Amino acid sequence: MNNLSFRRLFSILCCPPCPGQITSKLAFVPPDPTYTLKRDKSRSRWTLHLSEDADWQYSAREMSDIECFMTKTSRGNRIACMFVRCSPSAKYTLLFSHPNASDLGEMSSYYIALASQINCNIFSYDYSGYGASSGKPSEKNIYADIDAAWTALSTRYGIRPEDIIIYGQSIGTVASVDLAARYKSAAVILHSPFTSGIRIAFPDKKKTCCLDAFPSIDKISKITSPVLIIHGTEDEITPFSHGLTLFERCQRPVEPLWVEGAGHNDVHLYAQYLERLKQFVTQELGNL
């Protein structure tokens, strides 16, 4: 989500053509693509090519740990997917829905580092209209996008739901909550989540209206898997109160991580972030 002036929010909400366009204006900011996917001569394999100005370029060994492909969603879009394998012995795979204003090329170096540090494989995808994915970003598309990713984990890789950790960050928590409310998995991790779109601007709003987008607050109580919520106490985009509210509505919450002094985009830079993830994945999940 992005910071919005009251005047800008008022103009969007008071003169809306339809709720879907409100969602797009409020939430989605696809960056210029940082990568392309190209098929080899046999057309059986896709290769990741990062743009020249990408922050990180990979060695041949790192590239061998990344598999990319395209898959089709129920709404007809083709979305780019990425599977990062850190270890053959990894028990869990994170189904990672990334934050706004990023794509797979930008996130891939983070995925490689995180996968090796917590001994989990990571499967991620680009939302419709992001990176190499076709279509336009919308609330309905983002739900179809994560459904296609969930299906690919099962059909392409044979990964069972009980071995999948659904992980969402920022706007990615919207897709993660929607999926987790419908399918049981090993666990759910929500990193800097928000309760709903309009509640970003009006945090005291009690009921969800018809124009409100991304109503995670109305879905999170349906999640039957264990839920870990991570939030910075000084989040300047999604107030800390959103994380607290969602935590209170969980059926099976685990000990949350409130990162003192962290904002919206720097939680992962604090040592306790990685420590909490390691503890959760390697120790707690086996006992839940």
The band of 206, judged by pLDDT with boundaries at 50, 70 and 90, is low
CA–CA gap between residue 249 and residue 246 (Å, rounded): 5
Q: What is the pLDDT of residue 195?
A: 92
Average pLDDT of the residues in 69-95: 94
Q: What is the pLDDT of residue 288?
A: 79
- Is 22 or 264 the better-scoring residue by pLDDT? 264
Q: What is the pLDDT of residue 134?
A: 98
Return mean pLDDT, the chain: 87
Average pLDDT of the residues in 104-121: 93
Q: What is the pLDDT of residue 89?
A: 84
What are the beta bridge partners of residue 125? 81
Q: What is the pLDDT of residue 124?
A: 98
pLDDT at 160 over 90: yes
Give the DSSP letter of residue 196: -
CA–CA gap between residue 146 and residue 102 (Å, rounded): 16
Asked whether the beta carbons of 73 and 125 are under 8 A apart, the reply is no
Q: What is the pLDDT of residue 57?
A: 61
Give the DSSP letter of residue 161: G
The band of 247, judged by pLDDT with boundaries at 50, 70 and 90, is very high
Lowest mean pLDDT among 9-13, 53-57, 214-218: 9-13
* Catalytic site includes residue 98: no
* Catalytic site includes residue 32: no
Determine phi and psi for 30, rounding to 5 degrees: -65, 130
- Is 237 or 54 the better-scoring residue by pLDDT? 237
Asked whether the beta carbons of 229 and 212 are under 8 A apart, the reply is no
Q: Which of 170, 192, 196, 216 is catalytic?
A: 170
What b-and-e string marks burial along 208-223, b requiring 16 or more CB atoms within 10 Å of the CB? beeebbbbbbbbbeeb
- Is 186 or 17 the better-scoring residue by pLDDT? 186
* Domains of the chain, earliest start first: 17-282 (3.40.50.1820)
Q: What is the pLDDT of residue 18?
A: 45
The band of 267, judged by pLDDT with boundaries at 50, 70 and 90, is very high
pLDDT at 61 over 80: no
Neighbours of 114 (CB within 10 A): 21
Residue 167: which of 131, 135, 130, 125 has the closest Cα? 125
pLDDT at 140 over 50: yes
- Is 278 or 52 the better-scoring residue by pLDDT? 278
- Is 125 or 19 the better-scoring residue by pLDDT? 125
Asked whether the beta carbons of 81 and 108 are under 8 A apart, the reply is no
Average pLDDT of the residues in 198-222: 77
Please spell the DSSP secondary structure of 260-284, one letter per residue.
Answer: TT--SS-GGGSHHHHHHHHHIIIII
* Catalytic site includes residue 59: no
- Tell me the pLDDT tens digit for each residue of 19-32: 444 444 457 889 99
pTM for the model stands at 0.88
Average pLDDT of the residues in 228-251: 96
Lowest mean pLDDT among 73-87, 142-156, 187-201: 187-201
Average pLDDT of the residues in 83-94: 91
Amino acid at 42: S
Structure tokens, 28: 């989605």
Residue 71: which of 129, 141, 133, 161 has the closest Cα? 133
